[in-house]
């Protein structure tokens, strides 16, 4: 089984939405026994929850299970358990590589892993609902490519 870990700053917006969208794709494709998804943040506020806008946008995608999800702080054990670690930005990737160089072979940005090019997923934190919608749409595009790259046919 492949374990995909999504990482952003606070684990309240991008990585939470990436995890939720990936889980939905996995369920729709009956891949629950092949891929699992989780998320964590680099600078987490303990007991912080998904932003209101992230919850609302995920609801628009038919995903209603992120409201109570608590932010999770990245650590060695979480990284060790992941097959692949996908960060939202090059800055996140660099920070993880600086702190945990032993995992250099499995840490990528989402865009790098999915599309083979550099690029960051815009941080919607503190912005309006339209920015969250754009972020979710971008995540969905790269997550579809990620599933394909993991070797599973649609």
> Is 35 within a domain?
yes
CATH number, domain of 10, equals: 3.40.50.2300
Q: How far apart are CA 148 and CA 154, in angstroms?
A: 7
- Residues annotated as catalytic are 8, 14, 123
Which residues are within 8 A (CB) of 136 and not within 5 positions of it... i.e. 6 or more apart?
A: 17, 21, 57, 58, 61
For residue 151, is pLDDT > 80? no
> Is 126 within a domain?
yes
CA quadruple 33, 58, 132, 51: dihedral, nearest 10: -100
Q: How far apart are CA 99 and CA 29, in angstroms?
A: 35
Average pLDDT, the chain: 95
For residue 154, is pLDDT > 60? no
User: Could you tell me the two tokens for 7?
Assistant: 């990482």
Total of domains in the chain: 1
Does residue 47 come out as left (phi exceeding 0), alpha (psi in the -120 to 50 range) or beta? left
Domain with 89 in it? 2-149
> Is 154 within a domain?
no
Contact yes or no for 45/71 (Cβ under 8 A) = yes
Q: How far apart are CA 112 and CA 89, in angstroms?
A: 10
Lookup result for tokens 């700053």: 9
> Is 122 within a domain?
yes
Report, as an integer, the average pLDDT of 97-123.
97
Contact yes or no for 12/41 (Cβ under 8 A) = yes
> Is 26 within a domain?
yes
**How many whole angstroms from its chain centre is CA 49?**
15
Element (H, E) at 87: strand 84-87
pLDDT in tens, 5-47: 999 999 999 999 999 999 999 999 888 899 999 999 999 998 8
């Amino acid at each position: 089984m492949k374990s995909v870990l999504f990482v952003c700053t606070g684990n309240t917006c991008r990585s939470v939405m990436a995890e939720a969208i990936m889980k939905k794709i996995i369920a729709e494709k009956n891949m629950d026994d092949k891929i699992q998804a989780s998320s964590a943040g680099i600078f987490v506020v303990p007991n912080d929850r998904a932003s209101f806008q992230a919850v609302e946008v995920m609801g628009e995608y038919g995903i209603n299970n992120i409201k109570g999800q608590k932010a999770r702080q990245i650590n060695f054990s979480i990284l060790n358990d992941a097959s692949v670690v996908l960060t939202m930005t090059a800055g996140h990737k660099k920070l993880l590589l600086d702190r945990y160089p032993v995992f250099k072979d499995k840490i990528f940005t989402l865009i790098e892993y999915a599309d083979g090019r550099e690029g960051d997923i815009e941080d919607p934190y503190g912005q309006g609902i339209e920015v969250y919608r754009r972020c979710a749409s971008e995540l969905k595009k790269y997550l579809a490519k990620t599933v394909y790259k993991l070797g599973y046919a649609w």
